[in-house]
Structure 1
């Protein structure tokens, strides 16, 4: 299960209607339409469906694997209905966010449980717990970071710093559920143990929402400004929460953050996301098997 996405600029109004129920301003819609035009296309839905297909292949015929989105088709209920039609007798839901606040993710659980009940699959249903330190996932992040740093350190002749990024949340949400921050720290610690202990690293938040309330700090924008003051020549961005290419990466990082780097004279680089890497599919399989024992 994942959040969902508009595919192109033409789908933003419909997508926002599902999220905001008519409360999204025209200015916000136009802003995001422009972002989608700049990236051309968000492949989140296709990649998530491909992840499900690869997981199905790995798990075999004893399982039925489908992808469901919270705010765009195919919806979570569509996925549950397909599972039932394919012969499933119980369900395991995996939220495609390694670290999550139960407060924020309650919508996933609600959609999952209601869909299961509607299709007669409520008995024995499980939603996987946060899985930010799953070994296959952590090793994939570390491996991609090591490989990128080896090339960048050689290219620039210095030790290039990294910035671990994750999606920001309103501060009030974390005050209600501080476990989110603990999960982020656990993922970063697990990855760092597999990297050079002398590596210079930072951790920050990205993609803060369009609301006046206080969001988590430090923001990626602030970290890049500080690196500019330190005359940093290059940086490697390491997203630890995003699992497939989508707007928060293709625009927020590859366009907006890259532009800020250029303005600061910093060469922008980021690791590839997990997408359908076999090691990530192994991670998903491990999460499913572990959840069966809950």
Structure 2
């Protein structure tokens, strides 16, 4: 999101420090090690389902919802998240009809937030006869509030209210493959 970059650049300029350089890593949403790290988490989580249902479990690839007005100003941001989700699904071997991109953690303000939220998807899954669901955040890289509460508690409750067995992928946290991705992003940024 360009607002963060602009704020950081302005703070850097305000420092007036000779010899201090600023390099910002920008678009790395398709970094191969990152995509593989998340895809492996999806595969590991699916492997924990009983063998007789494993191949039918729908996978919800989620990102943080935002007010619609924010995205109207930066449509590339959501396009990148959707590209990330599609690339992860492909690497994880998910058929197109088995996964979907949706949002989570919408704010509690009167303005319109991006949809569908995973809460909106649970009744649709139940209506389609689904009894299991796997949630895989593609935007969140480590355990924090939106993972440990919004998903682990909130999404689980919403799934169970509809009779759906819930699971989520393990967060990347300190995954060696994810660390390798971060190192590659830093090296690429420094080489520019």
TM-score (norm 2): 0.91
Work out the CA distance in 2 between the residues paired with 1:108 and 1:160.
38
Report 1:165-176 matches (<5 A): 165-176=62-73
Q: Where does the alignment leave 5 or more consecutive residues of structure 2 unmatched?
A: none
Distance change (3 Å), C-alpha of 1:263 and 1:286: same
Q: Which residue of 1 aligns with 2:112?
A: 214
SS in structure 2 at match of 1:238? strand
How many equivalent pairs are there? Answer: 191
Matches within 5 A, 1:11-160: 101-102=1-2, 106-107=3-4, 109-111=6-8, 113-114=10-11, 117-118=14-15, 120=17, 123-154=20-51, 156=53, 159-160=56-57
Corresponding residue for 1:18?
none
Provide, for residues 242-284 of structure 1, a one-character-per-residue CA deviation record: whole Å limited to 9, x for no partner. Answer: 0111111111001111011111000110001110111111111
> Does the CA-based 8 Å contact 2:126-2:163 persist in structure 1?
yes
Runs of 5+ consecutive residues of structure 1 not aligned to the other structure: 1-100
CA distance in 2, matches of 1:117, 1:258: 46
Q: Could you list the runs of 4 or more consecutive aligned residues of structure 1 that deviate by over 6 angstroms after TM superposition?
A: none
Change (3 A) 1:171 1:122: farther
Q: Hey, what does 2:95 align to over in structure 1? A: 198
How many angstroms does 1:111 deviate by? 3.9
**Among 249, 259, 262, which residue is 2:147 paired with?**
249
SS at the partner of 1:269?
Answer: strand
Task: For residue 189 of structure 1, report the CA deviation from its aligned partner.
Answer: 1.9
CA deviation profile, 1:86-107 (whole Å, cap 9, x unmatched): xxxxxxxxxxxxxxx32xxx23
Structure-2 residue corresponding to 1:82: none
Structure 1 residues 117, 154: closer, same or farther in 2, change over 3 A? same
2:185 corresponds to 1:293: no
User: Normalising by the residue count of structure 1, what TM-score does the alignment of the two structures yield?
Assistant: 0.61
CA distance in structure 2 between the aligned counterparts of 1:112 and 1:278, rounded to whole angstroms? 31
Distance 1:231 1:205 in 2: 22
Alpha carbons of 1:152 and 1:112: their partners in 2 closer, same or farther (altered >3 Å)?
farther
**Cα contact 2:47–2:54 (8 A) shared by 1:** no
Q: Deviation at 1:112? A: 5.9
Partners of 1:144 and 1:204 in 2: CA distance: 18
Distance in 2 between residues matched to 1:165 and 1:269, nearest whole Å:
13
User: In 2, distance between residues paired with 1:262 and 1:224?
Assistant: 9
Max Rg structure: 1
Q: What is the CA–CA distance in structure 1 between the aligned matches of 2:29 and 2:153, rounded to whole Å?
A: 27
